[in-house]
A and B are shown apart, each in its own frame.
Chain A
């Protein structure tokens, strides 16, 4: 069965860096686009970024452009989110999610999430 396991969350100071990972199993990771979606405490869901199946294309929500970088290592079945210069408003649970439909960006499977707290 599809399994997505995030790691790397924790407390990070504003302006420092943090890298999140998402280990995938149960499907052919290299064939599908992957996304990060976040949820601030007590708030709704916010899409953050997507990377194509081969890593050649990425899109970001405006609030993280230039600060966050999504990448993937298909040889390790792992997705990453490099968070540079995080801000207090980036505090959230970060979920990785897989898009199994080729041209429709909805999320069939989600990880359990990893909490990132940006605080000095």
Chain B
């Protein structure tokens, strides 16, 4: 099973600042990686797939990068609605696996 690890577990950021979230895979997943955002009491929302392709309707301030084992989700200027938990997910191998998430909180 491929283990996905987020860092940091919690990120404290002020509105308007840039946030950089990392996700590492225990073995290469090529570019088969997605990012999701989840707010309390809500289902996850797809942000990015294929490591760097924004999903439909996702604002341009969200960008994904990386390949192999190291991935990054960048939020260029945090808005109030962006404070949430972010998960990466690999779809290179079965079983599909998620990271434990990074919580982005207001500083």
Residues of A within 8 A of B (CB): 35, 44-47, 50, 59, 61-62, 95, 101, 104-113
Contact = CB atoms under 8 A, between A and B. Distances in A.
B13 interface: no
Interface stretch (B19-27, B44-52, B76-84): B44-52
Interface of chain B, main secondary structure: loop
30 contacts: A44-B87, A44-B98, A44-B99, A44-B100, A44-B101, A45-B36, A45-B38, A45-B44, A45-B89, A46-B98, A47-B89, A47-B96, A47-B98, A50-B96, A59-B95, A95-B43, A101-B49, A104-B32, A104-B91, A105-B96, A106-B34, A106-B46, A106-B49, A107-B34, A107-B46, A108-B46, A108-B55, A108-B56, A110-B45, A111-B43
A111 B49 CA distance: 19
B95 A45 contact: no
Given A47-B98, A107-B44, A110-B43, 15 more contacts: A35-B96, A45-B36, A45-B44, A45-B87, A47-B95, A47-B97, A62-B95, A95-B44, A101-B49, A105-B91, A106-B89, A107-B34, A107-B46, A108-B56, A110-B44
